[in-house]
């Protein structure tokens, strides 16, 4: 039976919290395509440009507000498209800007840039990526949860021996409706241990489920109990004859099918946490089985047989737990 307090529910939300992806750009220092000197030089050259588009504070270039204020005061600026030469009033159309990209690669001493310390030579290689340099005006980050994510978090606890808690359902802040109708799929296996008594002639043993209740709790409060269709959920084993003077042990762990719990109607709100507990009762014929347990969320590789063999085949596929 679940008996979780508010603080324990809060701890569960924190334990299974899945944070949003962090911004982790590729580190060119570890790619070995560029040397540390090249990357440092590229960043140093960008810093010395003092460009307002890449700086968080004003430097040597006027801002848009300062330019507008200068225009409002009547300050004249030469047009970028034409230059007037006085006194002849000859107008020269400035149609093409002359650029010299190779000039950036000309080494310039730090003494010419007012950089303190020993004199070294600077250059700006645009082919080298600019890394670890804050771009305050263009870098953006998402503060929204991706729309493709489910409005709840479904936590499946693997290979749980029943009775026990098998699932947690944690509502996220993106939940939109106050009530949902869920369908839960539970892949189950049966674990059996027994002893074949001396003189047993051998034969089949059938272990079938009589009842598998699903109890849903919110904290320590029982919300409701649900049932599943148990048709075809059983395990049949064949044990050999025992002609020896003492009993012989046998055991099995075998996936037997998927239980479907439908019409699980739950109230939903942000931060709600529901606990799903499973129980089970068995019937075995003949009665040489000493213990039988239901295994919820059994792994596909969790099957094993010792001292017995499986009768028949199971066409069901263990696709894992799911809720929808």
Asked if 175 and 152 count as a contact pair (C-beta separation under 8 A), the reply is yes
Q: Is 53 left (phi over 0), alpha (psi -120 to 50) or beta?
A: alpha
Neighbours of 31 (CB within 10 A): 9
Q: Are strands 289-296 and 160-162 parallel, antiparallel or unpaired?
A: antiparallel
Closest CA to 224 of 297, 165, 275, 166: 275
Neighbours of 321 (CB within 10 A): 21
CA dist 298 and 301 (Å) reads: 8
User: In DSSP terms, which residues pair with 214 in a beta bridge?
Assistant: 226, 278
| Residues near 106 by beta carbon (within 8 Å), at least 6 away in sequence | 123
Give me the tens of pLDDT residue by residue for the chain, a chain 324 residues long.
Answer: 456 677 777 777 777 776 666 767 778 888 888 888 888 888 888 888 776 555 555 555 667 777 777 777 765 554 444 444 455 555 555 555 566 767 777 888 888 777 888 888 888 888 888 887 765 555 665 555 555 567 888 889 999 999 999 999 988 888 888 899 999 999 999 999 988 888 888 888 888 888 999 999 988 889 999 999 888 888 889 989 888 888 899 999 999 989 999 999 999 888 888 999 999 988 877 778 888 899 999 988 778 889 888 888 777 788 888 888
């Amino acid at each position: 039976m679940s008996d979780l307090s508010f603080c324990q529910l809060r701890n569960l939300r924190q334990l299974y919290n899945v944070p949003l992806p962090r911004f982790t750009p590729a580190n060119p220092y570890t790619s070995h395509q560029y040397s540390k000197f090249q990357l440092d030089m590229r960043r140093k050259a960008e810093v010395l440009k003092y460009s307002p588009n890449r700086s968080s504070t004003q430097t040597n270039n006027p801002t848009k507000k300062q330019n507008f204020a200068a225009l409002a005061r009547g300050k004249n600026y030469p047009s970028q498209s034409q230059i007037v030469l006085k006194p002849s009033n000859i107008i020269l159309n400035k149609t093409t800007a002359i650029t010299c990209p190779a000039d950036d690669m000309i080494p310039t001493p730090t003494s010419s840039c007012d950089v303190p310390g020993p004199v070294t030579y600077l250059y700006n290689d645009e082919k080298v990526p600019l890394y670890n340099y804050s771009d305050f005006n263009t870098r953006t980050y998402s503060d929204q949860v991706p729309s493709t994510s489910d409005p709840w978090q479904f936590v499946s606890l693997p290979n749980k021996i029943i009775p026990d808690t098998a699932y947690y359902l944690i509502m996220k802040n993106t939940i939109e409706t106050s009530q949902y109708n869920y369908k839960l799929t539970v892949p189950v296996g049966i674990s059996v241990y027994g002893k074949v008594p001396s003189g047993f002639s051998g034969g089949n043993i059938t272990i079938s489920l009589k009842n598998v209740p699903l109890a849903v709790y919110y904290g320590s409060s029982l919300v409701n109990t649900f049932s599943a269709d148990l048709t075809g959920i059983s395990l049949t084993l064949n044990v050999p004859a025992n002609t020896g003077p003492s009993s012989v042990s046998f055991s099995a762990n075998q996936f037997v099918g998927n239980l479907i719990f439908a019409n699980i109607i739950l109230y939903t709100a942000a931060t709600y946490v529901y606990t799903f507990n499973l129980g089970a009762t068995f019937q075995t014929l003949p009665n040489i089985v000493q213990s039988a347990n239901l295994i919820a969320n059994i792994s596909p590789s969790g099957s094993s047989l010792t001292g017995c063999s499986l009768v028949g085949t199971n066409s069901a596929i263990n696709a894992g737990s799911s809720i929808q």
